[in-house]
């Protein structure tokens, strides 16, 4: 029995003697690591005091990189004049197209013709804008909102926009060559023109603006929308926000020269 106790004691002493250096080594490593971290922080603090630059690490760099320079040290753009929106010169592009065609440079000729067509459409769009009234139902037009957009491919995608606004009352005007819209309007005029209800809520119906067939819609959240086809491929759309009645919308639409728009756009 005594020998067993002695053996257990010897084994315990041996185990303790073996684990003590290991624990001591781990403790020394932790102390060394903390000392290194403290030294690094002290050096960073001194460097920051001298240079005014935060060297604290990646997270600090991320938070300060948007204050005027990128993480690579390059300056960030703070503004500029933008692009000049001058329409293409029609005559110059036609001359260039002729020269390119004679030289059998058909790709350049095609591009020049496209640019000439784009210039024509932009000129027509600006002419249409000038023909629109400057005030409608007491709402002045917002010149910065005037916009003409074209793809340059024979009226496909030509849009002309103008906004009239006063307080919370707004009239948005859009003249466009849009096949999807035209298909929807023509489908309704051809097949659903007589659909109307005498009870319940009427959300859309057929009407006329200066003798031209039209569709007027109403939505509680967006207000009134009045669409009038202009010939075969174009249409004009008014979106009236905070207009009190349907008749008020019709009065606003009658301020526009529908026949003049059809003529300017070359519609039939």
pLDDT for residue 256: 98
Does the pLDDT at position 198 exceed 60?
no
CA distance linking residue 254 with residue 182, whole number of Å: 21
Whether 66 shows a pLDDT value over 90: the answer reads no
> How confident is the model at residue 130, as a pLDDT?
94
pLDDT at 21: 46
Strand partners, 166: 169
The answer to whether 145 and 174 are in contact (CB under 8 A) is: no
Give yes or no for a contact between 208 and 214, defined as CB atoms under 8 angstroms apart.
Answer: yes
- Please answer whether residues 266 and 236 qualify as being in contact, where contact means their C-beta atoms are separated by less than 8 angstroms: no
Share of the chain above pLDDT 90, in %: 44
- At residue 4, does pLDDT exceed 50? no
Q: What is the pLDDT of residue 29?
A: 59
Inform me whether the pLDDT recorded for 155 exceeds 80.
Answer: no
Tell me phi and psi for residue 182, to 5 degrees.
-60, -40
DSSP SS3 for 56: coil
Q: Which of 85-89, 157-161, 173-177, 186-190 has the lowest mean pLDDT?
A: 186-190
**CA–CA–CA angle 157, 162, 166 (5° rounding):** 155
Secondary structure letter of residue 143 according to DSSP: G
**Can you spell out the DSSP letters for 68-84?**
SB-TTSPBPP-------
Per-residue model confidence as pLDDT tens digits over 79-133: 887 776 777 889 999 999 999 999 999 999 999 998 888 888 888 899 999 999 9
Span 24-35, average pLDDT:
53
Task: Quote the CA–CA distance of 226 and 257 in Å, as a whole number.
Answer: 15
Element housing 38 (H / E): helix 2-51
* Confidence grade of residue 134 (pLDDT, cut at 50, 70, 90): very high
Report yes or no on whether pTM surpasses 0.75: no
């Amino acid at each position: 029995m005594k020998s067993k106790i002695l053996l257990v004691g010897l084994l315990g002493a041996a185990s303790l003697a073996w684990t003590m250096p290991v624990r001591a080594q781990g403790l020394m490593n932790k102390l060394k690591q903390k000392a290194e971290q403290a030294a690094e922080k002290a050096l960073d603090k001194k460097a920051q005091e001298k240079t005014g630059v935060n060297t604290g690490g990646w997270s600090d760099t991320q938070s300060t990189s948007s204050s005027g320079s990128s993480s690579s040290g390059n300056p960030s753009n703070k503004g500029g004049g933008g692009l000049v929106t001058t329409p293409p010169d029609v005559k110059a592009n036609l001359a260039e197209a002729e020269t390119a065609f004679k030289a059998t440079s058909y790709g350049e000729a095609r591009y020049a013709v496209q640019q000439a067509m784009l210039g024509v459409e932009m000129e027509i769009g600006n002419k249409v804008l000038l023909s629109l009234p400057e005030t409608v139902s007491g709402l002045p037009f917002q010149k910065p909102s005037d916009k003409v957009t074209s793809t340059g491919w024979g009226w496909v995608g030509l849009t002309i926009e103008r906004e009239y606004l006063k307080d919370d009352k707004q009239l948005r005007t859009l003249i466009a060559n849009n096949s999807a819209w035209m298909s929807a309007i023509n489908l309704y005029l051809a097949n659903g023109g007589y659909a109307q209800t005498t009870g319940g809520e009427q959300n859309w119906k057929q009407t006329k603006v200066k003798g031209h067939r039209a569709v007027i819609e109403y939505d509680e959240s967006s207000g009134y929308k009045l669409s009038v086809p202009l010939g075969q491929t174009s249409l004009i759309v008014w979106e009236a926000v905070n207009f009190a009645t349907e008749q008020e919308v019709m009065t606003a639409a009658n301020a526009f020269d529908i026949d003049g728009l059809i003529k300017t756009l070359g519609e039939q």
